[in-house]
Amino acid sequence: MGLGPNFLWGGATAANQSEGGYNLGNRGLATVDLLPMGNDRAGVMAGKIKMLEFDDQHFYPAQVAIDMYHQYIDDIKLFAEMGFKTYRMSISWTRIFPNGDEEKPNEEGLTFYENIFRELRKHNIEPLVTLAHFDVPVTLIKKYGSWRNRKMVGFFENYCRTVFNHFRGLVKYWLTFNEVNMILHAPFLGAGLCFEPDENEEQVKYQAMHHQLMASAVATKIAHEVDPENRIGCMLAGGNNYPYSCRPEDYARAVEKDRENYLFIDIQARGAYPNYALKKFERENIHIVMQEGDQELLKHHTVDFISFSYYSSRVVATDPSVAHETAGNIFKSIKNPYLKSSEWGWQIDPLGLRSALNILYDRYQKPLFIVENGLGAVDTPDENGYVEDDYRIEYLREHIKAFKAAVEEDGVELMGYTTWGCIDLVSATKGEMSKRYGFIYVDRDDEGNGTLKRSKKKSFYWYQKVIQSNGEDLE
């Protein structure tokens, strides 16, 4: 029993939330650079406020983020000290293709990531690389309208072919689109979509979804051609919907809401649009334009494993009088009276992780990988930057117990676990630094002040012990 000797323990970050250096090394501008701090952030992420250039009225936290661009060697050293077996990170598309539509890549960008991968390998850390973590080159939005345009599949293909070839032998585990279902909830964040006032948004979103799913299948095909050792995963923003009551209508709504998410993985893991989706499109007058050969491609190039993020479960109700909404990773949810919430209103539900693992495994029968999980909390460091973060340890401990039970008692196949924001970084939904997830504290505040100095929290030593004992010692 136990998790097995090859279980991949580690942590996760994304380029835009950690690197900074947005204009260094010939990098081009990307969507995520333009997400401002403050009230307009949500509107920009939703594609309702068009922000394709910086302005003087806003602060843009991703410009510097936590400056990993300059500090990655020391950061990786700290990951190694914790005993990481893997490190999930993303490649910033615009470091490799600054505009997105060039034929030849930017050599400086390739060298930058090559150095990171070599550094990781030096410490025996296996890179797990997301190809698109919420980033689209801004030029591709201005010139082509981003993922609503079929041309994007070709641009993405060129990018993927370049990195698969260049990093052959250095990277084996890849994820295509981070939280691929995010496009329905935050379309600018998920796919660089800005809407015109008279546009049919649902039609645009589902067409763009089809293009991303095609791009994902093409990437999977090329990855396997370039190196049969490559393993490609899809990535879902996970967490199931509970019915608020046992009213059959509530249950039916929960099933329907879950399908909104499964739709993506049904296609990426099983290789075809499910009937429930085709019926929905028919009912709602959504017409997805496909090219000849699309269905064949989807069918023959399914993913090798299924990765997902898990922070909380959600609740749906059909009776509007019970609707007390709470926050939860952009997805709306009714407040669950049986659960506690984080300071940001995300409901804490470790058992929901065990259920999610079982449901995904039952449905797809492919290996799973938890690539994001964690507690965003306010930390109060002492004068040396040390944080006594028992609340974080508690959250992680309970979630680790839950996935261990899924593996050991239910027989779920789980490849690994990477906690989100293993080093403090910029929050995706809020742009804040004060929403911290890390084992490593970074001295920077929401306004961009601070020395960027790194220091180890109590959870750093705790996670080190967890990894060392392969999840046996959780105290």
Residues lying near ligand BG6 in the complex (CB under 6 A): 14, 17, 178-179, 237, 309, 329, 372, 376, 420, 427-430, 435
In angstroms, what is the minimal distance from the CB of 7 to ligand BG6? 22
In angstroms, what is the minimal distance from the CB of 281 to ligand BG6? 26
Torsion angle in degrees (nearest 10) through CA of 317, 320, 325, 330? 70
Are the C-beta atoms of residues 148 and 193 closer than 8 Å to each other? yes
The secondary structure of residue 30, as a DSSP letter, is B
Q: Which residue has tokens 């890390």?
A: 438
Q: Which residue has tokens 């501008």?
A: 29
For residues 414 and 442, what is the distance between their CA atoms, to the nearest angstrom? 31
Closest CA to 46 of 142, 185, 139: 185
Q: Which of 119, 126, 179, 372 is catalytic?
A: 372
In angstroms, what is the minimal distance from the CB of 34 to ligand BG6? 15
Angle formed at CA 70 by CA 113 and CA 67, multiple of 5 degrees: 105
Q: Which residue lies nearer to ligand BG6 by CB, 105 or 239?
A: 239
- Residue number of the CB atom closest to ligand BG6: 429
Catalytic site includes residue 249: no
Under DSSP, is residue 449 helix (H, G, I), strand (E, B) or coil? coil
The secondary structure of residue 365, as a DSSP letter, is -
Q: Which tokens go with 318?
A: 């059909």
Single-letter amino acid, residue 359: I
Q: Which tokens go with 391?
A: 């609340």
Q: CB neighbours (10 Å) of residue 473?
A: 11
Q: What's the distance, CA 388 to chain centroid?
A: 27
Closest CA to 66 of 457, 388, 448, 377: 448
Q: What's the distance, CA 396 to chain centroid?
A: 18
Beta pairing class for 305-309 and 368-372:
parallel
Q: What's the distance, CA 462 to chain centroid?
A: 24
In angstroms, what is the minimal distance from the CB of 429 to ligand BG6? 3
By CB atoms closer than 10 A (0-12, 13-18, 19+), residue 462 is buried
In angstroms, what is the minimal distance from the CB of 256 to ligand BG6? 22
In angstroms, what is the minimal distance from the CB of 14 to ligand BG6? 5
Where do runs of H (alpha helix) occur along 274-349?
A: 275-283, 294-300
In angstroms, what is the minimal distance from the CB of 5 to ligand BG6? 29
User: What number of CA atoms fall less than 13 Å from residue 463's CA on the CB side?
Assistant: 33
Active-site positions?
372
